[in-house]
Structure formats: structure tokens, C-alpha cells
Amino acid sequence: MLEVESLTVPAGRFRLEEVNLRLTQGECHAVLGPSGSGKSTLLRAILGVLPCAAGRICLNGADLAGVPIERRGLGYVPQHLGLFPHLTVGQNVAYSARARGVPSAVFQPHLDRLIAATGIGALLDRRPGTLSGGERQRVGLVRALAGQPRLVLLDEPFTALNDSLRRELWWLVRELRSQWGLTILLVTHDLAEAYFLADRVTVLLDGRVAQQGDKAEVYSRPAVAEVARFLGVETLQPGRIIETRDGMVLVEVNGTQLRALDVPGLSNEVLVNIRAEDVLLEREPGSPAVGSARNRLRARVLSIQFGSPMVCVKLDAGFPLLALITRSACEELNLQPESVVTAIIKAPSIHLLNRKPSSAPATPLSRSANAVTTRGV
């Protein structure tokens, strides 16, 4: 469907380097990265706004080099939407089809179905300045889809919305994609958004692809420390492998021993990755380990940060460790600073990376309890 091969795009002092990307028909692919990583630069190059210094962009096998923006068959929803303030909503959503000279009899039936699916029928005679943020987003989506594009580009269009509106629109995009078989390329810095909407993700850091693959694999198995930090892995600690046996390794972290799965190519010096949502807490010591919960650590509660709906518990388990639990679990455990608990971590939940000589511990001292968890998404 979409093939981006060895793409290099200069943009002022910034440069997108050797990016490779492939989307299949009907896929939603998210490009993740912090501000300034090159996400929007990549999207603008595909759109045809920025020239490419090297590489190719192909859509359905056709090279897009030299193809004007309006003939690329792309739908585009920019971050600030770009709705025409002097036109009504109805005129805005029909603009691209009419500008290309498509007869109303051809595009109107499809547009009517989109209007019904997104619930903007009552807004057609209003102007963009009178709409709420969520209403404007829906109008922007309809305008992008009205021309029945081969590929839809979403450039962080939900960033300015509050959490409830943002999630409402995520569901809408999911439904539209399912109903119309849309192929979507989304750029975002929001891990939860990417995890909710996308099938696969590409992580861009400093203009280069740092990791690419299935969203669950990238989330649970970051390829390098920089990706782990960007993806918000809460506990990152240097460790040393002291034993390998039966597909497992024994890792020593600041004097504490952990069992983890062996990974081909590991050196003895590793970086231990543990997500806070994978740390379970209990107050009853001495219970036998079950299943793959091979790590049971005596830990002291240092602090508790309440949020909605989760609670972040900072622990001293021989090394700094964060746990993310529900409010009800916190109440049942009667957790207080200085409480002694057992931290339980399954061996498969501990991800090991080879540690560079310059790697340093990167465990944050605090984390918002509003932090994203992919459970139930």
C-alpha cells in the first residue's frame, strides 16, 4: 500500500535520515516520538509539502515523486485542522471534492454517510468558530474522508482535547476505520493513543527509526534504552547476569537477585526494564511462588502518589522500584510510607537490554498516577 524507502528529508537544521516504512491495506500505523523527532516532517514529505533529498515514497506501487498534493489521493487531518472560518461546516466538508470538480451526485452519497456516522448533521449550517473542540475534530475527519482517500494522514489532531473527548474520538476513528476499511498513518507522542488505534508502530528518535514492529512487542520489548525511556518504562536499572540456566538468567541489581528470561545476544552487563503495572504487591510474606512469579522481593514503601484511577507506589527493593496499583488495592493493603510489602514480578515481565558503558540508571523519582497503562485498551 504505502512504501517509504530510505527516505531522507532536510528541514532547516533538522534532517530525517534513512526512514523505511511500509503500510498494508487497512492497517493503522502509528509513528511515535517526542517533539522534534521528525514525525510531522515525515508526514509532510508523504503529503508532498516537503521535498525529499533521497529515497522513495510509493502508494499502491506508484512513485509519488513529482505528483502534486491534490493528486496523491491522501486525506489529511493536521493538528490545527485548518478549517475555513468563512465557510459553513457543510461547505468545509465538501470543499475538496468540489475543488477537484467532482459532481455532487458522485461525492454526496458518501459524504452523507460520513455525516451520519460522525453525528455532525446538526452542525452543517454553522461556522467553525462556533464549534466546540470535539465538534471541530469531527468536522476535520469528515473533510479528510469526503474524497475517499487511499491513505489518511493524522498529524496529532487530538492533542488539544481533554482526556474524555480524546478517547471518544479514538473510538470514532476505530469505528470509521472498521466501517470504511481505512488505511491510516498516525503521528503522535501519546503512547496510549498509538496503542489504542494502531496495529504497528514506528518509534522515531532524532530523525531516525529507533524501533519498528507490532505495538505490543515494541511496548513490552523496547530494543534500546532510549526507546525504553521514551515509552515510559518506570524502572531502568543496571544489572549483571551471574547465572544462565534452562532458558532463564539470574541478574544481580545492586545486590538484589532477579530471575528473567534469557534473550539471545545478551552480554553480562545489562539494563533491567520493569514496568510499574507489572509489579504486584502483597502484605502477607512467605506465600509460595506461583506460575512464572519467580521474583518475590521484600520492599519498603517510600511514598505513595494518588491519582485517578491508579496509585503509584515508590519502593525500596534493594533498588528503586515503582508499582502501579488500583486505589482499591492500595486500601486493601493499607499501604503507608514505611510499610513493608512483598513485590512480585513475573520473570517474563522483566526485559533485559545490553547495557552501554555510558548507560546510567533512569528510574524516575516520581510518576503521575494518571500514567497510561495498556491494560484493557
Query: Per-residue confidence at 287, pLDDT binned at 50, 70, 90?
Result: low
Give the DSSP letter string of 255-310: TEEEEEE--TT--SEEEEEE-GGG-EEES-TTPPP-TT--EEEEEEEEEEEE-SSE
Pair 150, 287 in one domain? no
Q: Please write the tens of the pLDDT for every residue from 299-316.
A: 999 999 998 789 999 999
Q: What is the mean pLDDT of residues 66-78?
A: 90
Task: Please say if the pLDDT value at position 108 is more than 50.
Answer: yes
Pair 278, 350 in one domain? yes
Please list, in sequence order, all residues whose beta carbon lies within 8 angstroms of the beta carbon of residue 187, skipping any fewer than 6 positions away. 30, 31, 32, 33, 39, 40, 42, 43, 154, 155, 156
pLDDT for the residue 286: 53
pLDDT for the residue 70: 85
> Average pLDDT over the chain, rounded to whole?
89
Query: Per-residue confidence at 107, pLDDT binned at 50, 70, 90?
Result: confident
pLDDT for the residue 120: 95
Q: Please write the tens of the pLDDT for every residue from 177-226.
A: 999 999 999 999 999 999 999 999 999 999 999 999 999 999 999 999 99
Pair 240, 211 in one domain? no
| Residue 368 included in any domain | no
| Residue 365 included in any domain | no
Parent domain of 333 = 233-354
| Residue 346 included in any domain | yes
Q: Which of 185, 218, 251 is the last residue of a domain?
A: 218
Residue identified by cell 490545527 is 80
Share of the chain above pLDDT 90, in %: 79
Cis previous bond, 309, omega within 30: yes
Return the percent helix, strand and coil in the chain, to nearest 5. Answer: 30, 35, 35
Tell me, what CATH number does 241's domain have? 2.40.50.100
Task: Please say if the pLDDT value at position 289 is more than 60.
Answer: no
| Residue 324 included in any domain | yes
pLDDT for the residue 81: 86
Pair 16, 104 in one domain? yes
Euclidean distance between CA atoms 62 and 20, whole angstroms = 16
Pair 184, 265 in one domain? no
Pair 171, 135 in one domain? yes
Euclidean distance between CA atoms 66 and 70, whole angstroms = 12
| Residue 286 included in any domain | yes
Highest mean pLDDT among 97-106, 175-184, 290-299: 175-184
| Residue 318 included in any domain | yes
Euclidean distance between CA atoms 319 and 194, whole angstroms = 31
Q: Please write the tens of the pLDDT for every residue from 142-158.
A: 999 998 899 999 999 89
Residue 154 vs residue 286, higher pLDDT: 154
Cβ atoms < 10 Å from Cβ of 56: 13
Pair 97, 42 in one domain? yes
Tell me, what CATH number does 145's domain have? 3.40.50.300
pLDDT for the residue 355: 87
pTM of the model: 0.86
Which one-letter amino acid corresponds to residue 34? P
Task: Please say if the pLDDT value at position 292 is more than 90.
Answer: no
Assign 346 to helix, strand or coil: coil
Pair 251, 206 in one domain? no
Q: What is the mean pLDDT of residues 274-294?
A: 74
Number of domains in the chain: 2
Pair 176, 255 in one domain? no
Share of the chain above pLDDT 70, in %: 92
Task: Please say if the pLDDT value at position 164 is more than 60.
Answer: yes
Distances (CA, A) of 287 to 60, 294, 333: 58, 12, 15
Do residues 343 and 278 lie in contact, with contact meaning Cβ atoms separated by under 8 Å?
A: no
Euclidean distance between CA atoms 365 and 320, whole angstroms = 8
Pair 64, 194 in one domain? yes
Q: Please write the tens of the pLDDT for every residue from 235-268.
A: 999 999 999 998 999 999 999 999 999 988 899 9
Q: What is the mean pLDDT of residues 69-86?
A: 90
pLDDT for the residue 74: 93
Residue 230 vs residue 371, higher pLDDT: 230
Q: What is the mean pLDDT of residues 11-27?
A: 94
Pair 151, 290 in one domain? no
Q: Please write the tens of the pLDDT for every residue from 332-377.
A: 999 999 999 999 999 999 999 998 755 444 444 344 333 444 433 3
| Residue 302 included in any domain | yes
Pair 192, 257 in one domain? no
pLDDT for the residue 183: 97
| Residue 114 included in any domain | yes
